[in-house]
């Protein structure tokens, strides 16, 4: 009979690491637990008839280093409140340290005031996470770097760029025949870094937004003629930005166009938008559970489970997180 894995990973501390999963992405949490060599912790999560969330840990977590995996994917507000309740329950159960593992940080695009009488919702969420009792936040490919500064607790910022670089190198997409394209001015630094990973050229597609969640490509800056173009972004929502950029690149003479994004939200209509676009391939990660979404044909999924596992282990053992990325996780 196969022995069950323990619920705690012991290390330099005497209390041990315990990993718990919210309901947003249980498959990713299970994959991380397997790589850590432990079982997911026992936690009861329910939604009452009136929509309220209930949480109770089914085992002692006193003195433990608790990591809670919960992505900010739809239904966003339900998942956020569930995470807050789990954090607060862990605090009241005397956990030694609580780390919110948020592969996708929600409200990240609301990181500043673009018009009068708007909130800065990313800052609000940072405040609420800390008020609930989070001692640390672990997240991936934020939309904007200033979000880290919204926190008064440590934030470990990871990036999936090395995973995507390996994905394209395996397909021999590197060197002078490849150009990495930033889909807007906000992603220029990340795109330049990714271009270095592939020894490739660099270009920018400028865009305008006539209204929320609609993008129109305006101009291609850089030499893309006859080259394999690779567009990188932090997230795909409607697919409009990537579709518009791909059309502009083909018109500018690109040989073909591929795209990658860390967070795949694929809202209704995104599959059709991307399927009808000039994109030959779209690569995404599993920071968001793809089950239940309408995923475009030909999407390639690159798992972040190993990367999250290494980062969680580094945090638990008090070793360097940036060393995992060779210092390449500061993208802004």
* Model pLDDT for residues 180-222, shown as the tens digit of each residue: 999 888 889 999 999 999 999 999 998 765 555 555 656 899 9
Q: Do domains 17-159+306-325 and 161-303 have the same CATH topology?
A: yes
Cis bond upstream, residue 75 (ω within 30):
yes
Residue owning tokens 């200033």: 146
What's the pLDDT tens digit per position in 111-155? 999 899 999 999 999 999 999 999 999 999 999 889 999 999 999
Q: What is the distance between the alpha carbons of residues 202 and 178, in angstroms, rounded to a whole number?
A: 9
Model-wide pTM > 0.85: yes
Once rounded to an integer, what is the mean pLDDT over residues 213-238?
86
pLDDT, residue 73, reads 95
Q: Residue 13: is its pLDDT beyond 50?
A: no
- The answer regarding whether domain 161-303 maps to CATH 3.40.50.2020 reads yes
Measured in whole angstroms, the distance separating CA 3 from the mean position of its chain's CA atoms is: 33
Q: Is the torsion defined by CA of 108, 305, 63, 60 positive or negative? A: positive
Could you tell me if 283 and 304 are in contact, meaning their C-beta atoms sit under 8 angstroms apart? no
* pLDDT: which is higher, 42 or 13: 42
The catalytic residue positions are 207
Buried b (16+ CB within 10 A) or exposed e, 213-228: eebebeebbbebeebb
Give per-residue pLDDT as tens, 51-110.
Answer: 999 999 999 999 999 999 999 999 999 999 999 999 999 999 999 999 999 999 999 999
List of residues 6+ apart from 234 with CB closer than 8 A: 108, 141, 142, 143, 187, 190, 261, 262, 263
What are the domain boundaries of the chain? 17-159+306-325, 161-303
Looking at residue 210, its pLDDT comes to 54
Q: Which stretches within the chain are classed as H helix?
A: 26-36, 76-92, 121-132, 161-170, 188-197, 240-251, 270-275, 305-317
- Domain 17-159+306-325 -> CATH class: alpha beta
Q: Is the pLDDT of residue 314 over 90?
A: yes
């Amino acid at each position: 009979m196969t022995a069950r894995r323990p619920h705690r990973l012991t290390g330099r501390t005497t209390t041990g690491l315990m990993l718990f999963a919210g309901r947003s992405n249980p498959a990713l949490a299970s994959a991380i637990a397997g790589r850590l060599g432990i079982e997911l912790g026992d936690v009861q999560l329910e939604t009452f008839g009136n929509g309220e969330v209930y949480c109770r840990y089914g085992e002692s977590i006193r003195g433990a280093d608790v990591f809670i995996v919960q992505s900010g994917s739809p239904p966003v507000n339900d998942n956020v409140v569930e995470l807050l309740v789990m954090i607060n329950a862990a605090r009241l159960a005397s956990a030694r340290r609580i780390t919110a593992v948020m592969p996708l940080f929600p409200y990240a695009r609301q990181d500043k005031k673009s018009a009068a009488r708007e909130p800065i919702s990313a800052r609000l969420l940072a405040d609420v996470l800390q008020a609930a009792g989070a001692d640390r936040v672990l997240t991936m490919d934020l939309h904007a770097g200033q979000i880290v500064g919204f926190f008064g607790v440590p934030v470990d910022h990871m990036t999936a760029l090395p995973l995507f670089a390996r994905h394209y190198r395996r397909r021999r997409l590197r060197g002078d025949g490849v150009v990495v394209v930033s889909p807007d001015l906000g992603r220029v630094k990340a795109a330049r870094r990714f271009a270095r990973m592939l020894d490739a050229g660099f270009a920018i597609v400028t865009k305008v937004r006539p209204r929320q969640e609609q993008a129109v490509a305006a101009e291609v800056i850089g030499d893309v003629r006859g080259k394999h173009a690779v567009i990188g972004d932090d997230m795909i929502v409607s697919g409009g930005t990537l579709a518009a950029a791909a059309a502009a690149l083909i018109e500018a003479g690109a040989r073909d166009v591929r795209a990658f994004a860390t967070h795949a939200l694929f809202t209704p209509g995104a599959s059709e938008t991307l399927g009808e676009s000039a994109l030959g391939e779209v690569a995404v990660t599993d920071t968001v559970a793809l089950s239940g979404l309408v995923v475009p044909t030909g999407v390639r999924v690159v798992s972040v489970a190993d990367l999250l596992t290494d980062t969680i282990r580094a945090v638990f053992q008090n070793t360097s997180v940036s060393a995992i990325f060779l210092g390449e996780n500061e993208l802004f």
